[in-house]
């Protein structure tokens, strides 16, 4: 989350503001309050900015700003934004926040060859969010089981030795045996059967 300090100028009209933006990577500022402007001695007003996923109403304005910025940089003229694209951008959860939006728009402007702005939807990840730690561990276990079974299949059910599954996976025999038991794999299922002649 970004932190922002707004300093009100001590002028008579009180209308001008100086804004000092710092992101959370500035460790000096995280350790304490925002610094006062030395020239005025003004006191900062601290605030935090919400994540983009909580500010869907800001997306059209940001899209317009970034399109204008990158179209000028690329020497292109973009007159309109495709409605479906804008709807998709507003419904996307933006886990990478504004920087992800900025990068998607920059890439889209670079490849845009018409005056209508569109985004390749494959650039926006569609993987569902992990709902619980158990979902992640079961997904990982499923992948691990598939990898172990592939190695057992390739080695004819043999666990150890130079052509065994453990050697193929680059792990110790005992580690593989433990994984086989934990994942509920029947290694005999992968043993090559003798062909009768």
Indicate if the pLDDT at residue 185 is higher than 80: yes
Q: Where are the beta strands (DSSP E) in 77-146?
A: 80-81, 116-117
Calpha distance 84→82 (Å, rounded) = 6
**% of the chain with per-residue pLDDT over 70:** 66
What confidence tier does 183 reach under pLDDT thresholds 50, 70, 90?
confident
Hey, what domains does the chain have and what are their CATH numbers?
3-49 (no CATH), 54-123 (1.10.8.60), 133-190 (no CATH)
pLDDT: is 151 or 33 the higher one? 151
The 10s digit of each residue's pLDDT in 76-130 is 999 999 999 999 999 898 888 889 999 999 999 999 999 999 998 888 866 555 5
> Which of the two residues, 182 and 33, has the higher pLDDT score?
182
Average pLDDT, the chain: 76
d(CA 196, CA 120) in angstroms, rounded, equals: 56
What is the H or E stretch that residue 27 is in? Answer: helix 27-30
DSSP-assigned beta bridge partners for residue 81: 117
Reading the block at residue 175, the tokens are 């580690």
- Helices 133-154 and 173-183 cross at an angle (nearest 10°) of 120
- Residue whose pair of structure tokens reads 């650039």 in the numeric block: 123
Cα dist. 89→68, 95, 101, 108 in Å? 17, 12, 8, 12
How far apart are alpha carbons 119 and 89 in whole angstroms? 9
Tokens representing residue 127 in the block:
């993987």
Q: What is the pLDDT of residue 36?
A: 54
- DSSP H/E element including 45: strand 45-48
Give the pTM.
0.45
Question: What is the per-residue pLDDT for 75?
Answer: 94
């Amino acid at each position: 989350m970004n932190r922002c300090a707004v300093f009100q100028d001590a002028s008579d009209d009180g209308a001008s503001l100086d804004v000092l933006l710092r992101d959370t990577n500035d460790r000096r500022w995280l350790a304490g309050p925002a610094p006062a402007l030395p020239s005025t001695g003004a006191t900062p007003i601290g605030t935090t900015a919400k994540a983009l996923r909580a500010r869907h109403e800001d997306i059209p304005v940001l899209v317009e700003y970034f399109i204008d910025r990158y179209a000028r940089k690329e020497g292109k003229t973009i007159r309109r934004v495709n409605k479906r694209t804008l709807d998709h951008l507003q419904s996307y959860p933006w886990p990478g926040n504004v920087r992800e939006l900025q990068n998607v728009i920059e890439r889209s402007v670079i490849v845009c060859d018409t005056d209508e702005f569109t985004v390749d939807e494959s650039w926006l990840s569609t993987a569902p969010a992990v709902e619980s730690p158990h979902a992640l561990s079961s997904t990982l276990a499923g992948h691990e089981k598939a990898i172990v079974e592939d190695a057992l299949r390739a080695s004819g059910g043999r666990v150890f030795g130079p052509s065994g599954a453990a050697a193929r996976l680059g792990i110790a025999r005992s580690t593989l045996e433990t994984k086989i038991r934990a994942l509920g794999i029947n290694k005999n299922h992968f043993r090559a059967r003798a062909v009768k002649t």
